Amino acid sequence: MVFSSLIFLYLFLPSCILLYYAWNNRTYRNALLTLYSLVFYAWGEPIWVTLLIFSASLDYGNALLIEKHRGTVWAKVGLWSSVVLNLGLLFLFKYSGFIYENVNLLLGTHFSIPQFALPIGISFYTFQTISYVLDVYRNEVPAQRNYLNFLLFVSLFHQLVAGPIVRYVHIADEIDNRKFNIADIAGGIHRFCIGLFKKVCIANVAGELVVKYLDSDFNNLTVAGGWFGLLMFTLQIYFDFSGYSDMAIGMGRMFGFHYHENFDYPYISRSSTEFWRRWHISLGSFFRDYVYIPLGGKVHKPYRNLFIVWFLTGFWHGASWNFILWGLYFGVLIALERLFLKKVMDALPRFVSHLYLLFAVVLGWALFYFTDLHRLGAFMNILFGASANPAWNLEISLTLKEHLFWLILALILCTPVYLWAYKKLYQKLEDRSLSFGQLALTLANILLLLGSTAMLVGKSYNPFLYFRF
| Active site members | 317
Taking the C-alpha atoms of residue 322 and residue 372, their distance in angstroms, rounded to an integer, is: 8
Q: What is the DSSP string of 243-286?
A: HHHHHHHHHHHHTT--PPPS-S-GGG-SSHHHHHHHSSHHHHHH
C-alpha 367: how far from chain center: 18
Quote the CA–CA distance of 123 and 52 in Å, as a whole number: 11
CA neighbor of 154 nearest in space, from 176, 183, 132, 170: 132
Q: What is the largest CA-CA distance in the chain?
A: 75
Give Cα 339 distance to the centre of its chain.
29
Q: Is the Cβ–Cβ distance between 163 and 244 less than 8 Å? A: yes
**How many CB atoms are located within 10 Å of the residue 17 CB?**
16
User: Quick check: 75 and 65 in contact, CB under 8 A?
Assistant: yes
Taking the C-alpha atoms of 325, 101, 305 and 290 in order, what is their torsion angle to the nearest 10 degrees?
110
Task: Using alpha carbons, select from 462, 469, 396 the residue that is nearest to residue 203.
Answer: 462
For residues 35 and 156, the answer to whether their CB atoms sit within 8 Å is no
Which residue pairs, CB below 8 angstroms and at least 24 apart, start in 110-117? 116/92, 117/48
> How many C-beta atoms lie closer than 10 Å to residue 431's C-beta?
10
